[in-house]
Amino acid sequence: MTSLPASSLVETVANKIKQMILSGSLINILPGERELGHRLSVGRETVRKALTLLERDAWIAPARIKVPRRILKTTEEETVKNIFCHPVQEKREILGFLTPLPLKRLAQSVLAEIYTISKILEEDGISVRIFEAPWILGNNPDKRLAKLVTKSECVCWILHRSSEQTQLWFKKHRIPCIVRGTSYQSSNLPYLDRHWAATTHHAAQHLWNKGHRTVGLCLPPDPLKGHQLMQKGFFSFAEQGWNPVLVPSPFETPLFFEYLAKAFKEHPDMSALVATRGNQVVPILSWVEARSLS
């Protein structure tokens, strides 16, 4: 791949920063060089040279020690010159992130994804808004979905931990969306997820090779497609002596402990547990440690 000459790259970065200013993505104060470099996928030295060009052309104020650079108001001539190539969006478009979980219960990895997506789309004048809607896991979310989607005016949606009914509603109304997770066969929506069935099948193979025969799969009771696939992969393992046990793992730790106690009482030969979610690990370790289990 042929790389751009250094001078050309600097000019390209300077033009991108101009576009961000004209579109309203950057207002009043410039972010630091490190932040700009991250957003534009270039090094700090390239950003520094690009800022020198912008300062020369009076787009930004001169640098001052420990003081953020100010964005100078563009002249009428500059605005007219750029408006045909880079029209300013009067109204920012919104991408909706729909989840049944409250914000405080979203995994750190999910929050990191949302932050990264919002930073990338910000340059194109698109903002990301999180919608907490626990009712989307209910049996009939249609009316509430219609009200939410109409009121929000989002141009596209990311469906997080969505039920089959929710996915079918988006498909029926032809609303642009992508499933963060696995889409149901009935909806066949575009999705992005891990191969859950292969993951749990591999876990079963690994534990069976280690000599374990009765093994518990700790699975949240949510009716999500990914959870169904994890159970399918784990229970489809068919080596001799394999005895999989389903252990419900609700979010409430005391109730999770009750299910663990019941599972071990019904299967005293159970010698291993598989955690399918990160938030299961600490409760499992605490429970087995309290009972001196290895």
Q: Per the structure block, which two tokens stand in for 48?
A: 């520094």
Q: Please check the confidence at residue 220 and state whether its pLDDT lies above 80.
A: yes
Let me know if residue 122 belongs to a domain: yes
Closest CA to 162 of 181, 189, 142: 181
Let me know if residue 153 belongs to a domain: yes
Task: For residues 93 and 121, give the distance between their C-alpha atoms in angstroms, rounded to a whole number.
Answer: 10
- Residues of the domain holding 125: 93-192
Helix (H) or strand (E) holding 135: none
The total domain count for the chain is: 3
Q: Using 50, 70 and 90 to split pLDDT, how confident is the model at 186?
A: very high
- Give the per-residue pLDDT at 105: 86
Task: For residues 101 and 113, give the distance between their C-alpha atoms in angstroms, rounded to a whole number.
Answer: 16
Sheet with 126-132, edge to edge strand ranges = 126-132, 93-99, 156-160, 177-180, 191-192
Dump pLDDT digits (tens) for 65-91: 767 788 885 544 444 445 445 444 455
Dump pLDDT digits (tens) for 13-52: 988 888 888 877 777 788 888 888 888 888 889 999 999 9
C-beta of residue 168 within 8 angstroms of C-beta of residue 189: no
Q: Please check the confidence at residue 140 and state whether its pLDDT lies above 50.
A: yes
Is 78 found in the same domain as 38? yes
Which of 174, 192, 210 is the endpoint of a domain?
192
User: Which single residue is written with the structure tokens 């389903």?
Assistant: 246
Let me know if residue 264 belongs to a domain: yes
Q: Phi/psi at 150 (nearest 5 deg)?
A: -65, -45
Let me know if residue 88 belongs to a domain: no
Dump pLDDT digits (tens) for 168-180: 999 999 999 999 9
Which of 50, 83, 116 is the endpoint of a domain?
83
CATH of the domain at 68: 1.10.10.10
Write the CA distances from 69 to 66, 94, 248, integer angstroms. 9, 28, 55
- Give the per-residue pLDDT at 67: 73
Let me know if residue 1 belongs to a domain: no
Write the CA distances from 57 to 30, 211, 248, integer angstroms. 16, 71, 64
Q: Per the structure block, which two tokens stand in for 23?
A: 């579109």
Is 53 found in the same domain as 115? no
- Give the per-residue pLDDT at 83: 43
In the chain, beta strands by DSSP E: 93-99, 126-132, 156-160, 177-180, 191-192, 214-219, 243-248, 272-275
Is 187 found in the same domain as 101? yes
Is 22 found in the same domain as 78? yes
State the amino acid at position 287 in one-letter form: W
C-beta of residue 249 within 8 angstroms of C-beta of residue 259: yes
Mean pLDDT of all residues in 135-153: 91
- List Cβ neighbours of 91 (8 Å cut-off, separation of 6 or more): none
Q: Using 50, 70 and 90 to split pLDDT, how confident is the model at 6?
A: low
Let me know if residue 183 belongs to a domain: yes
Which of 142, 164, 192 is the endpoint of a domain?
192
Task: For residues 221 and 210, give the distance between their C-alpha atoms in angstroms, rounded to a whole number.
Answer: 28
Instruction: Identify the DSSP state of 278.
Output: G
- Quote the distance between the C-alpha of residue 48 and its chain's center: 31
- Give the per-residue pLDDT at 124: 83
* Mean pLDDT over the full length of the chain: 87
Dump pLDDT digits (tens) for 223-269: 788 899 999 999 999 999 999 999 999 989 999 999 999 999 999 99
CATH of the domain at 276: 3.40.50.2300
C-beta of residue 25 within 8 angstroms of C-beta of residue 122: yes
Is 65 found in the same domain as 99? no
